[in-house]
Amino acid sequence: MQFNLLKRRNLISGILLAAVGIFAAVYAQRYNMGSLARMGPGFFPVVLGVLLGFIGIALAAVSLFEALDEEPIRVEWRKASIILGSILIFALLLRPAGLILATGISTFIATMADQKLTFYKRALITFAVTVITVVIFYYLLNMRFSLGW
């Protein structure tokens, strides 16, 4: 059995999922777990972290018995940089510009990762994501961010 780590996408994904799940479960234990009848703030994150860890371990284990992928993993640095940059821009703009502008600008920048999208489609996606974000977080969840005006 030939073992080339760069050609085992599911193994790498499984290891990363397991690591994130274990980290989340360990970190969430800082909060009060409570009991099954009266769950504390740490209960749900610990359970989800453990589940994510098990899913990652299962994915990694199954991938050891799969055939190798044809081509090695190719990271598309341009797309990754655009997405990470849009997240950073959102974080920097949220307080001074408000939820609407921060969401709109960061979403529009994130759509630039897909070069096939036309300006019209980018604008439509930006509008839809901004409206959905404001409705969910500002109105439904009552998280009182500044809207920007």
Q: Give the CA-trace dihedral at 46, 47, 51, 54, to 10 degrees.
A: 60
For residue 17, how many other CB atoms are within 10 A of its CB? 19
Q: Are 10 and 65 in contact (CB under 8 A)?
A: no
Q: Which whole number is the average pLDDT over 61-72? A: 76
Which tens digit of pLDDT belongs to each residue from 16-39?
999 999 999 999 989 988 888 888
Query: How many angstroms separate the CA atoms of 51 and 33, rounded?
Result: 16
| Percentage of the residues of the chain whose pLDDT score is greater than 70 | 91
Q: Say whether pLDDT at 3 is over 90.
A: no
Of the pLDDT bands very low, low, confident and very high (cuts 50, 70, 90), residue 51 is very high
CA distances from 20 to 8, 17, 52, 128 (A): 19, 5, 8, 30
Model pLDDT for residues 80-105, shown as the tens digit of each residue: 999 999 999 999 999 999 999 999 99
| Region of residue 148 (left: phi > 0; alpha: psi -120 to 50; beta: else) | left
pLDDT at 102: 97
